[in-house]
Amino acid sequence: MLFLLKKYSFKSKIAFIFLLYESLKLSIQSLQKSKYGKGNKKKLSAVMHALNRASSIFNSDDKNKTNPETLKQISFRNVSTEEQIPRILDEFMDDFEKECLEKDNGNAKNYSLFSVTCYKIIRTLDSGKKRGLLSAHTLNRLNKMFVKHPVKYSKQAIRDPLGLVFVITELAIDIEKNLSIPYEFDQSILDQTMPLMQRYYVQYDDAVRKILEDFSNMPKFKLVIEIGEKHKELIEKFLDYGIAKLPLDTRIKKVKSILEKIIAEEVDAVALGYYENLKLTFSDQTLRPHLAKLAKGMPKTNRRFANTILEEVSAL
């Protein structure tokens, strides 16, 4: 008898966990119909749209077997209009951690969809301090999730991890815009971006341009966003962190290849892209002596721009 009770309790707990996300959506629908959601109808509609698009994270057969009337709803009776969106965001983040990450489903696709859903919820708020604080709160929660549940993706994967990096940059830009201070990334976030950044750096001689180009060409989850200078600054920061973690032999081989391409390139605008990639290594104290030695050994060219770069690198 005791065994049966334990078995039943375990199954009930699993079913309850699966239904947290459904409960959240049902609670928002009830809020939309009530007097408490009257001042947030447009925002709540946008939130529901975002949550519905995130349903694949929480797919489970168990939720389809349950009568919605049996779901326990979240009460917004004592939640002010201004705090409804932050409360929904926290509930959604809790649901993701319990229903997805604790079930070992922390792959890049789920993390990417989760993070963009959080960002869409945040974007329902007007610009200002509250929105900036919510963006910071989301990145802090992501940071803690990464510590306990690192992102999983194959070495060949690009789209989903790049989508996650894109949303991280958007949240950081939103923080600086609304709080007037740059966001300082914790190591765990940098560690999660590192494998992808290293792959871009090794495969492309103009990694910054390539990542920004891929940002521009990706669907961006139906968000209308212009890729600009702030994205470039953040990508350079991620690349700088990732490059320094590569084996020294790999770093030496790569900068040698970039220097050779700068010398051979006839178009200064293209050579500038290579130079921007090379500059990412200038702060690498271990690599700098090798980089300077390589530059000194390179032959002079008939192009002033290339020779200026060689002189600058030789003096490192």
pLDDT digits (tens, 9 = 90+) for 190-219: 999 999 999 999 999 889 999 999 998 887
Q: At what angle do helices 187-203 and 229-244 cross, to 10 degrees?
A: 90
Q: What angle do CA 90, 91, 97 make, to 5 degrees?
A: 90
Question: Distance (Å, rounded) from C-alpha 78 to C-alpha 72?
Answer: 17
Domain match, 145 and 165 both? yes
Q: Is the pLDDT of residue 131 over 60?
A: yes
Range 193-223 burial, b when 16+ CB lie within 10 A, else e: bbbbbbbbbbeebbbbbbbbebbeeeebbee
Task: Enumerate residues 6+ apart whose C-beta is below 8 A from 213.
Answer: none
Q: Average model confidence (pLDDT) for the chain? A: 86
Domain match, 110 and 223 both? yes
Neighbours of 27 (CB within 10 A): 19
Q: Is the pLDDT of residue 15 over 70?
A: no
- Full residue range of the structural domain in which residue 176 is found: 106-246
* Amino acid 71: pLDDT: 65
* Amino acid 1: pLDDT: 33
* Amino acid 164: pLDDT: 94
Q: Is the pLDDT of residue 9 over 60?
A: no
* Amino acid 59: pLDDT: 66
For residues 16-44, average pLDDT:
81
3-state helix, strand, coil in the chain (%, to 5): 75, 0, 25
* Amino acid 4: pLDDT: 33
Question: How many domains does the structure of the chain reveal?
Answer: 3
Residue-wise pLDDT for 31-75, tens only, equals 888 888 888 889 999 999 999 998 888 865 444 445 555 567 788
Question: Distance (Å, rounded) from C-alpha 1 to C-alpha 313?
Answer: 77
Q: Classify residue 3: in a domain, yes or no.
A: no
Residue-wise pLDDT for 103-127, tens only, equals 888 899 999 999 999 999 999 999 9
Using the 3D structure, point to which of 228, 246, 264 is the last residue of a domain.
Answer: 246
Instruction: Quote the percentage of the chain above a pLDDT of 90.
Output: 61
Tokens matching residue 204? 């492309």
Using the 3D structure, point to which of 219, 246, 273 is the last residue of a domain.
Answer: 246
CA 177 to chain centre: 17
Instruction: Quote the percentage of the chain above a pLDDT of 70.
Output: 89
Q: Which residue has the higher pLDDT, 300 or 220?
A: 300
Question: Distance (Å, rounded) from C-alpha 291 to C-alpha 314?
Answer: 8
* Amino acid 12: pLDDT: 41
Is the pTM higher than 0.75?
A: yes
Q: Classify residue 195: in a domain, yes or no.
A: yes
Using the 3D structure, point to which of 54, 89, 124 is the last residue of a domain.
Answer: 89
Domain match, 63 and 160 both? no
Q: Classify residue 98: in a domain, yes or no.
A: no
Domain match, 258 and 310 both? yes
Question: What are the φ and ψ backbone dihedral angles of 80, each rounded to 5 degrees?
Answer: -65, 160
